[in-house]
């Protein structure tokens, strides 16, 4: 991981927070012809400028991603309530 980048996960609302300082620069990744979109269905550039990893929308500062959009997490052995 690049120095200065912080990552945290909030289990209560299933969000991932990635904080990127202004001095971080991304190198473009290799083209992957079988990967056309990222985790959020954003297009992955195929011209060598793609941000490595599952999120093409990373910017300087705070980036928050909702990781789970389904049912709330439940304890082992517990049944979902409706």
10-55, pLDDT tens digit by residue?
A: 988 889 999 999 888 888 888 888 899 999 999 999 998 898 889 9
Residue 60 lies in a domain: yes
Virtual torsion, Cα 75, 76, 77, 82, nearest 10 deg: 40
Residue 50 lies in a domain: yes
Residue 76 lies in a domain: no
Joined tokens for residue 24: 């971080």
Neighbours of 78 (CB within 10 A): 8
Residue 18 lies in a domain: yes
Checking if the pLDDT of 82 tops 90, the result is no
Residue 79 lies in a domain: no
Query: Residue 10: what pLDDT?
Result: 93
Residue 82 lies in a domain: no
Query: Residue 3: what pLDDT?
Result: 73
For the whole model, what pTM was predicted? 0.71
Number of compact structural domains in the chain: 1
CA atoms within 13 A on the CB side of 5: 14
Domain that holds residue 8: 1-69
């Amino acid at each position: 991981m690049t120095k200065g980048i912080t990552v945290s996960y909030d289990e209560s609302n299933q969000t991932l927070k990635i904080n990127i300082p202004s001095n971080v620069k991304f190198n473009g990744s290799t083209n992957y012809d079988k990967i056309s979109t990222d985790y959020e269905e954003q297009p992955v550039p195929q011209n060598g400028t793609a941000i490595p990893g599952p999120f093409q929308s990373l910017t300087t500062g705070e980036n928050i991603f909702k990781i789970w959009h389904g049912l709330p997490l439940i304890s082992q052995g517990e049944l979902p309530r409706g």
